[in-house]
A and B are shown apart, each in its own frame.
Chain A
């Protein structure tokens, strides 16, 4: 269910700007739709995405129901040092997923 895909280059030159692509499986139920019985379908979205680079936050996104299902987020960061990029998605109904990727900086 909570599968996350991350695309981070394995290697980069120091100071290079690297593009990071993330995709996570999630319905992003808006809370504005009604089921076939007419009952409102409760909101269930990812509200926050945070990326940290060796523990320092480099990017954050606050999401609203207008983000398409299976949120896809592309951003960039400067390859400063070898280490770990950690990604966390959190949202309604206690949703929380963390994922990480390593990058080697020459």
Chain B
């Protein structure tokens, strides 16, 4: 029985550890990258001191966009949309555009369904955040990362 591990065994063992470490690093780095100071400030202006929870809102964007000048965006919120419980507003922010605000949609129980869609500009590869305000005063958010190959804001008129 060999005392020292073979080269293959050694690489398998250490490689596995390295992969676990790398995965851990990616997971720990993502939340930090998902916000920029400008975007945090913009979100604070809308939300105030309230806590923003994760979930209930779903932000849909293509993971890869060839043209940052027009990127389709859909936001939907789980809500019965009754006069007692409805979505008051949906706000969209970007972390790396010149201005973090993208749009604020004001809804009410007469919307029937809390779902809005539009097309946005993205200056570069970045994370987009949607924040929703419910009638009970709570805030919820979702984020989506988009890789942009042709940036908006750079081409000539």
Contacts and interface: CB of A to CB of B under 8 A. Distances in A.
Nearest to B42: A64
A66 interface: yes
Interface size class of B (residues with CB under 8 A): 20 to 34
Contacts of A66: 94, 97, 99, 101-103, 120-122
B103 A58 contact: no
Contacts of B120: 66-68
Interface stretch (B48-56, B106-114, B136-144): B106-114
Interface string A64-82: 1111110111111110100
A74 B120 CA distance: 13
A65 B99 CA distance: 8
Interface size class of A (residues with CB under 8 A): 20 to 34
B88 to A, nearest CB: 11
Interface in A14-59: 17-18, 30, 32-33, 35-36, 41, 53, 56, 58-59
A36 B156 contact: yes
A5 interface: no
| Majority SS at the chain A contact face | strand
B122 to A, nearest CB: 8
B69 interface: yes
B125 to A, nearest CB: 15
A97 interface: no
B153 interface: yes
A69 B70 contact: yes
A5 B10 CA distance: 66
Interface of B: 69-71, 94, 97-99, 101-108, 110-113, 115-122, 153, 156-157
